Structure 1
Amino acid sequence: MNRTAAPARTSTAARPVVLVVDDQPENLRALEAMLRRDDWELVLARSAREAQEQLLRRDVAVALLDVQMPEMDGYELAEHVRGEERTRHLPIIFVAGNSREPQRVFSGYETGPVDFLYRPIDAHVVRSKVDAYVCVARRRHAQQSREERFRDLLQTASQAVWRLSPADARVLEDSPSWRALTGMSVEQWREHGPLAGVHPDDRERVLQAWQAGLRSRAPWDIEYRVHRPDGRYTWTLARAEPVRDERGGLLEWIGANIDIHARKEADAFRDMVLGILGHDLRNPLNAMMVSAQLALMRAREEPVRTPLERVLTSGERMGRHIEQLLDLTLARLGGGIAVHPVAADLREVVEQALEEVTVGKQRIRLDAVGELKGAWDVDRLLQVILTLVHNAVDHGTPGTPIVIRLDGEAPESVALTVHNLGPVVPESVRNAVFEPARRTDPTRRHGARGLGLGLYISKQVVLAHGGTIAFESSEAGGNLLRVRLPRYSAT
């Protein structure tokens, strides 16, 4: 073993380094015999000066320092270690002659771990102490590697990367990528903080997101527009990730603004086309339906009436699809579906909806408790109830009951649940049932009768009333769609 020559500074992927400093060769040999292991690198230094050279070249996990050395003893060396930024948090184990030897005053207890060993040294004790500090160093290095990979990924995948302070989101360092995206200097950025360059219409949302992130100390993301050097605004997706130390304390926020302007423009164009398509299909469909109804009124022979009835049934189905396309456009472009509440009784609304159900009606049971009066948009609520019932009929096990339960016992709200005993829905699908064009079971043929927008639009209607909607599925309990509506929403 070469005790004086030091290799290049180790990377985070190398074995942890344990540094032992003692001017007595016999003490070094004894500690070497106790601490020699394959999963860490043991480095021996015969003086404080030699130890300083090793600390400059290596990332040391823990240092064992003899307190009695000529020229510079262990306490003086430790003061130098604590005075350097890169080693100020290094764990130090002082090795003293015996427990009765007076301990010197040492000012570095606050910045990093400090421990003591007394001769004669117990091999099991010294190995246990060193192993504990090495484990901490491994976790810290693994975390640093993850953070480095995260930063590299952000640099390659993002348009702007930044670092902010943990408590108040102050800018920690200049970001050339942020300056390239916004045209703002680091001084302007520091002056305005997280709202720098944000579109005026988006500032309140961004501020709320930041405040929520600072409170929860959890990752978050938000889409908003930022100012570009040419004076226009571009849509970005901002993602913030908390960086923590080995004790879980928050060190900083690191994040990025990813350019999503092209995607937003494509989404807006798609929604515009859907809106135009839905609107322009109404007139020819209405003309077709009126003509079929007039022909049916005059038809007497069954071979003529049957295809006309089929035309009307198909036209009604097409009309529902067009309404869903228009609702989707309203929800995506208009910021939500408008509702017009009027005084109503929820039980009467449900009974009216059930009159329109044609398939599986005999399986449905309605239970109601409490006061069920409030103010809601009845037409929209009928739409929601029919969607939930049709969903239960389509995806329930044939022949099993479907239970609609209304609960009006809460003073401020009413609850509506629709339960069926269909197959359990996988969690990956369960979390996406309210997304557009997603179905709980796309392999079922009758599930293809709609556009996959029913539950999405139902959620938008419920949210427009100030309510909530949720889906539950389990092997024991079956499938349950749960809606809660305030009796009188603020809409």
Structure 2
Amino acid sequence: MKTRVKCLLVDDLDDNLLTMSALLRADDVEVLTARSGREALELLLVHDVALALLDVQMPEMDGFELAELMRSSERTNQVPLIFVTAGAREMQPLFKGYDAGAVDFLFKPIEPWVLRSKAQVFFDLYRARQQLSDELRERTETLRLNELFTAVLAHDLRDPLNAMMTAAMLIERQAELESVQRSAARIVSSGRSMSRMISDVLDLARARLAGGIPVHREPAQLGRVAQRVIDEQRLAHPQRAVELHSQGDLQGIWDEDRLAQAVGNLVGNALVHGRPDLPVVLRLDGSAIDDVHLSVISAGTISTELLPHIFDPFRGSTRPRASRAGLGLGLYIVDQIARAHRGRVAVCCEGGHTTFTLSLPRRLA
């Protein structure tokens, strides 16, 4: 059965309303009638209509004035309008009508089959639009529930994972056999990788469900954050060189832990994907009054196909899925942390090098 739609007829003459109502009314079409622009506006406050047919020549408020009021309202500015007139087919009124938002004109006396055919087109378009809207709403809700389930699952996985890692570290310390120690160390290493993945999934859920990653701002020093990240990365990549260059004032009001997470993701990404024989360079520039800029430079470039999607979740990894140690969320989380600080992150490839630049306002305006 077709979705029932509503059609609005506006005319100051009862005979015209009766005639058009009889032509358009059907089991799946409800006809609303108004004898003035004021009555029409009152009906539009209550009903969603698929089409409005407006008589041009009405006292107090003519069809053009009513159309302009409808176009100025967010509730009714998308309603298709057909003007009905008994006047001559002069160009000036036509231009005025189309400027007011008309999609068509009908001239009296109205041919019944013309009225029905034109109205049916807009009824079908309205039904199709409603169906698409319902499907979008349903899929959006399904996606929201999936993300909520993922967030709850990731949160609940932390407890058994922590218990497993605690037991593995205890075995690693107390085991006498070297093979047992190695096995325990592998369990601990895998557990830490899983913990990072769970944290990434939780951050993804926060960004999607809560409108962004939460941050807790307090006075912080970017140079201290960068040095901490470099020390951690050198332990994870002892064979790689990381250089730090800084200038200017590096103080700001930021979430230091989130900032360390963003810098760690950028430096870690550069160490993994950059050329291993050349150093990763970290530059801090605090010479500007309002903003601080952090750049991570590594040898190598990113493909032009990937570059537009580099900060998209699950699409921004520069490696194939099988070779990834994570979920491909690192750069997406960097972008979300930058947005949470009202900053931005950008990438540039030139001269055989890739540069990620994180720009942060010193304080929230």
> How would you bin the TM-score normalised by the shorter chain?
0.5 to 0.7
Structure-1 residue corresponding to 2:186: 310
Give the alignment's TM-score, normalised by structure 2.
0.64
Aligned equivalents of 1:445, 1:314: Cα separation in 2: 16
Q: Conserved in 2, the CA contact under 8 Å of 1:367 and 1:406?
A: yes
Displacement of 1:194 after TM fit?
Answer: 5.4
Does residue 459 (structure 1) correspond to residue 331 (structure 2)? The answer is no
Give the alignment's TM-score, normalised by structure 1.
0.48
Does residue 428 (structure 1) correspond to residue 305 (structure 2)? The answer is yes
Displacement of 1:427 after TM fit?
Answer: 2.7
Picking from 304, 316, 321, the partner of 1:439 is: 316
Picking from 162, 172, 182, the partner of 1:286 is: 162
* Number of positions where the alignment pairs a residue of Structure 1 with one of Structure 2: 260
Structure-2 residue corresponding to 1:368: 246
Displacement of 1:398 after TM fit?
Answer: 2.3
| Counterparts in 2 of 1:438 and 1:420: CA distance versus 1, 3 Å | same
Q: Conserved in 1, the CA contact under 8 Å of 2:218 and 2:255?
A: yes
Q: Conserved in 1, the CA contact under 8 Å of 2:250 and 2:292?
A: yes
- Higher Cα radius of gyration: 1
More helix by share: 2
SS at match of 1:306: helix
SS at match of 2:149: helix
Does residue 486 (structure 1) correspond to residue 355 (structure 2)? The answer is no
Aligned equivalents of 2:311, 2:165: Cα separation in 1: 31
| Counterparts in 2 of 1:421 and 1:265: CA distance versus 1, 3 Å | same
Displacement of 1:279 after TM fit?
Answer: 1.0
Unaligned runs of 5+ in 2: 1-43, 53-65, 79-98, 104-125
Give matches, 1:36-51, under 5 Å: none
Displacement of 1:477 after TM fit?
Answer: 4.6
| Counterparts in 2 of 1:344 and 1:319: CA distance versus 1, 3 Å | same
SS at match of 1:442: coil
Structure-2 residue corresponding to 1:193: 72
| Counterparts in 2 of 1:252 and 1:485: CA distance versus 1, 3 Å | farther
What are the superposed Cα offsets for residues 402-450 of structure 1, whole Å, 9 maximum, x if unpaired? Answer: 111000000111000001111x32333101011000134233864x111
What are the superposed Cα offsets for residues 381-408 of structure 1, whole Å, 9 maximum, x if unpaired? Answer: 1111111011111211221221110000
Residue identity opposite 2:358 in structure 1: V
Residue identity opposite 1:195 in structure 2: E
Unaligned runs of 5+ in 1: 1-177, 199-225, 227-249
| Counterparts in 2 of 1:185 and 1:280: CA distance versus 1, 3 Å | same
| Counterparts in 2 of 1:286 and 1:486: CA distance versus 1, 3 Å | same
Q: Conserved in 2, the CA contact under 8 Å of 1:425 and 1:440?
A: no
Picking from 349, 359, 362, the partner of 2:237 is: 359
Percentage identity across aligned positions? Answer: 34
SS at match of 1:425: coil
Q: Conserved in 2, the CA contact under 8 Å of 1:188 and 1:196?
A: no
Residue identity opposite 2:148 in structure 1: M
Residue identity opposite 1:434 in structure 2: F
Q: Conserved in 1, the CA contact under 8 Å of 2:219 and 2:252?
A: yes
Displacement of 1:192 after TM fit?
Answer: 6.7
Higher relative CO (CA 8 A, sep ≥ 6), structure 1 or 2?
Answer: 2
Q: How large is the Cα RMSD of the aligned pairs?
A: 3.3
